[in-house]
Amino acid sequence: MVFNQSKIIPLAQLKAGQKGRVTLVGLCGGRDFSQHLHDMGIIEGSEIEVITPGRPGPFLVNINNTSLAIGQGVAGKIMIEERR
């Protein structure tokens, strides 16, 4: 029997073209931070793809058919189940 092994990592570790599923949002940011991400459409279970990694500068991601710019600090607080 083979199990699908997934890896949970911060969004900030993904490279251009990598995709994942949002698993945890704003754990370290507090309620207002979590609400801000929710308002942007970044919610648990959403599929996300990195278009441009934020090294340096913001990450450009595609989520729910919308392109968003996300700062590195924010990207470090969004946990992703990496798709292989």
Segments making up each domain of the chain, as ranges = 9-82
Q: Which CATH homologous superfamily contains domain 9-82?
A: Ferrous iron transport protein A (FeoA) (2.30.30.90)
Task: Classify residue 27 as left (phi > 0), alpha (psi -120 to 50) or beta.
Answer: alpha
pLDDT digits (tens, 9 = 90+) for 27-39: 666 778 888 888 8
Residues 78 and 34: their CA atoms lie apart, in Å, by: 10
Residues 31 and 6: their CA atoms lie apart, in Å, by: 27
pTM of the prediction? 0.82
Residues 82 and 84: their CA atoms lie apart, in Å, by: 6
- Among candidates 68, 71, 64, 79, which has minimal Cα distance to 14? 79
pLDDT band at residue 12 under the 50/70/90 scheme: very high
Residue with tokens 């990496």: 82
